[in-house]
Structure 1
């Protein structure tokens, strides 16, 4: 139904454009400028009719070719590629329409009419000068040009319901929004530039041609003076039209580029306010963009605060289960960040390290209370359950969406109990094969565990813990990170 309505709209547009260009402009041009007999006029109309049949035939063939990809989209078996091609062809239809008017339409009319006119002049059936055929070509070109511009503008409006329908089909069948892709088939710069040139130059060209034909029949003696005057006027008008089209195009292009760059920054996460000093509708557009940017920044800040709360809440959840380890994750995060700063991690890397530390024991949520909170020595089976908490923690984070927000935290959570000599858990990794965050957290976690009080023992003092870390360099802990931590703590002392 939509496709049928589209075809009907194109037909109405074509008839309207033809009426304006051919009937109004063309007929006025012929009847008001040519001084010919009724016999010649009748013969010219016959030639014109035959040429119109040829023109319509040529144009109809090209029109069907242009329409074919769109027609296929309204087949029940249309696939994604067919719908994409139809969408792109529909977008380009105004340009194709203009080209169709300027080629098969214009050529299909001009060539048959010229050949027939030459034949009748040669057979002395038509008493007009051969030069009139040249004037007819120029006039036909100008008439085709105005017809093409009218069709272009009307078709630009006609394609919108069709684009919406194809987009709707693609969303329904494949959940793909075709309008999100970037389509620039004809830049706004070219639209403005050629539109202003057309408005400025077309009337003067048509008037100059009509005046020349009128004068050559009535006052041939002044033709040379006329051409000097006419060409001067045409050149001046053309220069003014080109200059003003450049100025107006720039007035539109500059804020458009500003908005485009602003949108690109939003896509990359770099949100900046636009500075624009305009007194037209672009002022509202710039202000609207800045309001949008402000809203996005506020929501991004809120999301960041919520995410930060997420890490703190998880750490507090662990503290609530085991009050004897209260504050452990926060302290480990502080120690880990100090090591990270010492080795020159970036601000973004330090942030990820801190978050990894806050969540490093999240897997203990999956350990039974009677095991996690046991005062005495753990059995082998109970210790096996405790050793599962890094893998449980990694699995928990892996289930959280969006995954890209958590994936960078998993290495620290999963591997903070690996040993440098390969005797750790859960995978028994060794040396440099242990992720960096895992090696850093192993040092920070061990120190806080040794210096914290437990129900079954009192925490040891800092010097003793550092001595143990010193002895464990290269076996239990990464020697480089262990030494850095020792140096940091000694500086504090």
Structure 2
């Protein structure tokens, strides 16, 4: 790992901290204290010394927590050959660093500054070293919370920018060493809705609260009755502002989250294989570009998906035709069996996706016959027991042939039909002797289609049966050789065609 990247990260964090502290604590806080309070210069110097001492305590407490937060990242860059677990731990910690920065500021940062300041200020007021009312300390506590919240927000967004080069470096190193990507894989550490709600709420309420407290202090120094009247009026205004900011923050967050959820749902549909989905284009801002780009990308995927399906279908059809070409008397057998099988599947109310699997499986149901010798496969007379045993191996041979296709997932769904299309409902079939519904549905469907086409097709040693006789044989064999639920559907449909 490159230590320079880590050092740049630390420098950026320090720079961000100084910017946030300067803007929030030293900027807003100091200005609020030293321009609002009407006290002698001697007391202002005492307040300044309290603030400086508290800042030292705050920095020490925050540094201790920061060292613990950065430990997994530091360990990663100190190790010459870090393990995958070390890199993953550091990667997740870097992602959490903006949120950890908020926790540091609202934890040791706020408490390390507030507790010493409040304690020393109360003691000084009690001893007469500060001539301010006790309730000023309460207002100071409220101001400290507001200023810390502002600092936390600034630090969060600055740190969010600072972690990106480090994340990219860890990802690239992980990919080069372990040949795989390191990602969050959709895990949400900081929901965008919460981020926008809190940011908008703070930006909306911070100015009015700071102004109200500052005005309270200034009025309290001159007119007690005016300060009391102002407090009641300011309380109503502040509550209204908080409610308005809360509503605005909620509306803003919802307006941003809605299109993101739409895109995420469309992405989920695509991942599940539904390329017909579209992200709703309902927006007039930059999300319109994002949605439009997503939908254009999806159209390209749809075109490629159609081409892939056509290519696969052509591949299966060509392979089936090549198989049938070995025997001129069975030419077209695989295509006809596929058509009959799809018809049975449709009568059984199967989905289009399932019908596609049926068609592909039926097209290649006899692919194992490639491994049978011509002297056996093309023999015109009666087969010997040995030859019939060889023929009975073609379902297993077919599965073994198809398993050579890579990736295996491409044909995994059609293998049950190829292997089991000669099983019989009563258990008398082959190669596994399965019975009833233990036979895969693909095999039960193809068995009917295969038998019907075999009976109605001409062979060199016999002429094919007529339709009605073949259908009658199927009826007689339902529950014995063929599925008793599927046969009536097929027979009824074939007779209705006449």
Fold shared, TM-score > 0.5 on shorter chain: yes
Classify 1:126/1:479 alpha carbon distance in 2 versus 1 (closer, same or farther; 3 Å): closer
Q: Structure 1 residues 381-390 or 54-63, which shifts more? A: 381-390
| 2:51 corresponds to | 48
What CA distance in whole angstroms lies between the structure 2 residues aligned with 1:118 and 1:484?
A: 92
Q: Does 1:212 align with 2:216?
A: yes
Pairing 1:64-213 to 2, within 5 Å after superposition: 64-74=67-77, 75-76=79-80, 78-179=82-183, 181-213=185-217
Counterpart of 1:411 in 2: which secondary structure? helix
The answer to whether residue 243 in structure 2 is matched with residue 265 in structure 1 is no
Deviation at 1:99?
2.0
Correspondence 1:288 to 2:308: no
Within the alignment, does 1:438 sit opposite 2:443 as a pair? yes
Q: Deviations over 1:297-349 (max 9, x none)?
A: 22222222222212211111112332221111112223334444455544444
1:373-392 correspondence runs (5 A) = 373-375=378-380, 382-392=387-397
Q: How does 1:296-315 map to 2 (within 5 A)?
A: 296-315=301-320
1:197-232 Cα offsets, whole Å, 9 max, x none, are 222221122222223223333455532333244334
Number of the residue aligned with 1:425:
430
| Cα deviation 1:422-451 (Å, max 9, x = unaligned) | 554333445554334334433432332343
Q: Name the counterpart of 1:32.
A: 35
Distance 1:46 1:384, change over 3 A: same
Unpaired runs of 5+ residues, structure 2, are none
Deviates more, 1:353-362 or 1:383-392: 383-392
Q: In 2 relative to 1, CA 128–378 (structure 1 residues): closer, same or farther, beyond 3 Å?
A: same
User: Hey, what's the Cα distance between the residues in 2 that align with 1:296 and 1:487?
Assistant: 41
- Match for 1:406 among 381, 399, 411? 411
Give the 3-state SS of the residue equivalent to 1:53 in structure 2: helix
- Comparing 475-484 with 128-137, greater Cα deviation is found at 475-484
| TM alignment of 1:361-372, pairs within 5 A | 361-372=366-377
The equivalent position to 1:19 in structure 2, one of 18, 22, 26, is 22
C-alpha distance in structure 1 between counterparts of 2:471 and 2:24, whole Å: 93
- Residue 318 (structure 1) aligns with: 323
Structure 1 gap segments, 5+ residues each = none
Q: 2:66 aligns with which of 49, 63, 67?
A: 63
Contact 1:90–1:163, Cα closer than 8 Å, also in 2:
yes
Superposed, 1:462-477 pairs within 5 Å as 462=467, 465=470, 477=482
Partner of 2:244: 240
Q: Using a 3 Å threshold, how does the CA distance of structure 1 residues 278 and 77 change in structure 2: closer, same or farther?
A: same
Considering only aligned residues, what root-mean-square deviation do their CA atoms show, in Å? Answer: 3.1
Which piece of structure 1 moves more, 393-402 or 326-335? 393-402
CA distance in 1: counterparts of 2:475 and 2:85, whole angstroms:
65
From the superposition, tell whether residues 369 and 34 of structure 1 become closer, same or farther in structure 2 (CA, over 3 Å). Answer: same
C-alpha distance in 2 between matches for 1:431 and 1:34: 92
CA drift of 1:157 comes to 1.0
Query: 1:90 & 1:276 partners in 2: Cα distance?
Result: 35
- 1:353-377 Cα deviation digits (max 9, x unpaired): 3322211111122234454345555
Residues 265 and 272, structure 1, Cα contact 8 Å, conserved in 2: yes
Structure 1 SS opposite 2:430: coil
Residues 109 and 433 of structure 1, relative CA distance in 2, 3 Å threshold = closer
Equivalenced residues, count: 493
Residues 121 and 396 of structure 1, relative CA distance in 2, 3 Å threshold: same
Q: Per-residue displacement from partner, 1:29-52 (whole Å, max 9, x unpaired)?
A: 222122333322333222222222
Q: Of residues 219, 228, 236 in structure 2, which corresponds to 1:224?
A: 228
Q: Give the corresponding residue for 1:452.
A: 457
The structure-2 alpha-carbon separation of the partners of 1:376 and 1:9, relative to structure 1 and needing over 3 Å to count, comes to same
Rounded to whole Å, the distance in 2 between the matches of 1:483 and 1:30 is 92
The question of whether the paired residues in 2 share the 8 Å contact of 1:193 and 1:242 is answered with yes
- Are the counterparts in 2 of residues 73 and 166 from structure 1 also a CA contact under 8 Å? no
